[in-house]
Amino acid sequence: MKKIQIAKPYILDEDIKNVVEVLKSGQLALGPKLKEFEDKFAKYVGVKYACAVSSGTAALHLGVRALGLKAGDEVITTPFSFVSSANCLIYEDVKPIFVDIEEVTFNIDPKLVEKAITKRTKAILPVHIFGQSAEMDPIFKIAKKYKLKILEDACESLGAKYEGKMVGITGDIGTFAFYPNKQMTTGEGGMIVTNSKKLYELCDSMRNQGRANTKDWLLHERLGYNYRMDDMSAALGITQLKKLNWMIEQKRKIASWYDKELKNIPGIEVPRIGLNRTHSYFVYVIRVKQGKRNLLMNKLTKKGIQTKPYLPAIHLQPFMKELFGFKRGDYPITERISEETLALPLYIGLKKKDIEFIVKEIKYELDS
């Protein structure tokens, strides 16, 4: 039986060659590839400073620390996300205040943000989900009005645009991730971007054990972490970044094949794109109506087609319910959407005939 997995990194000989070069050089950490990757990444997204770290979660955590968020503060964010966009707050005893999402893009609903503001609110943490930007104009307006910081989780949306501008670069701090299923990979890895020299220097110090920005290796100015990115990862990042636009285009093409084949199937809803946005597909997520999502997922697994129920609602994760007392019904739109969404296989190398095969199986399973 043919097996089709949900995601796969796209690795070429140029990637392998660049990593091997680092291995042969003997400088495996804090070497020239790290700086080169950061400079090229900053240029690609259009910011002054980029600070590479060991994961997207590390990027978010340093973002929270650099913005000075601390115990008792509140940050408004979305419950329809990967768990780390809320965890990064909990690490610092900052309280995630969830507001529900909107139906078109599955992103935080800006209309609900203002009502959630209290005296303790310090920031908004929008997540650009599945490769599509949240509606940022109203969010920036609210942030300005109430003097709130913005920490953007763009970990799923590298290359996506909002009003023609890259996501992740307009807030105080933006974060990206390079896990192997993302738009580009470094193995494990992440990036913090900002236009503020002060915030960059804080992140640069904290990822490296709180070291001072001097030559003195054993002078620690503040509490820090080992969140550094090694040079093998950075080398891979450089060659991945070089073909990123092409990779985004390829995934867009595969998504358009799915759109065309799936859009007239009753009970299936294909991804919708919000106004003024350009999608950079992280995953291709459909909605399966009439309570048939899990059934379809199980049947496709039996046919060798891997899918995933992206994403479960964060507030209903066991540890979240225990920590904050969340319950079913708290965020009804998120809950309904998270019971209907299903990510289909999406990676470079999938051919039109693979998509036709997957769609044929979906049709067959929904009819039977």
Ligand X SMILES: *Cc1c(COP(=O)(O)O)cnc(C)c1O
Please give the positions annotated as active site. 182
DSSP one-letter string for 177-217? E--TTSSS--SS-EEEEES-HHHHHHHHHHTBTTB-SSS-T
Regarding 55 and contact with ligand X (CB under 6 A), the answer is yes
Site for ligand X in 76-105 (CB under 6 A): 81-82, 84-85
Site for ligand X in 188-247 (CB under 6 A): 190
* Continuous H helices in the chain: 13-25, 32-45, 56-66, 84-90, 110-113, 136-145, 197-206, 231-242, 244-262, 293-302, 318-324, 332-340, 352-367
| Residue closest to ligand X (Cβ) | 56
DSSP 278: E
**Interface stretch with ligand X, choices 49-57, 115-123, 210-218, 317-325 (CB under 6 A):** 49-57
According to the binding rule CB under 6 A, does residue 307 interact with ligand X? no
CB proximity list for 4: less than 8 A, separation 6 or greater: 304, 305, 306, 345, 350, 354, 357, 358
Task: Check residue 106 for interaction with ligand X (CB under 6 A).
Answer: no
CB closer to ligand X out of 15 and 153: 153
* Residue from 51, 75, 127, 169 binding ligand X (CB under 6 A): 127
Q: Which among 50-58, 64-72, 106-114, 213-221 is the span making contact with ligand X, rule CB under 6 A?
A: 50-58
Residue among 19 and 283 whose Cβ is closer to ligand X: 283
Say which residues have a Cβ less than 8 Å from residue 284's Cβ, sequence separation at least 6: 254, 255, 258, 271, 343, 344, 345, 346
Backbone conformation region of residue 109, classed left if phi is above 0, alpha if psi is from -120 to 50, else beta? beta
Binding mask 139-178 for ligand X (x = CB under 6 A): --------------x-xx--------------------x-
- Considering only residues 324 to 353 of the shown chain, the ones binding ligand X according to CB under 6 A are none
**Minimum Å distance from CB 141 to ligand X?**
24
Q: How many residues does the chain have?
A: 368
- Cβ–Cβ under 8 Å, residues 203 and 62: yes
Which one of 9, 56, 63, 224 is in contact with ligand X (CB under 6 A)? 56
Closest distance of CB 84 from ligand X, Å: 4
B/e letters for 251-265, b = 16+ CB within 10 Å, e = fewer, are beebbebbeebbeeb
Region near ligand X per CB under 6 A, out of 53-61, 63-71, 208-216, 283-291: 53-61
Q: Is 179 in the site for ligand X (CB under 6 A)?
A: yes
Strand-pair category, 284-288 with 341-344: antiparallel
Interface size with ligand X, residues (CB under 6 A) = 14
Figure out which of the listed residues 57, 186, 240, 280 binds ligand X, where binding follows CB under 6 A: 57
- What are the residues binding ligand X (CB under 6 A)? 55-57, 81-82, 84-85, 127, 153, 155-156, 177, 179, 190
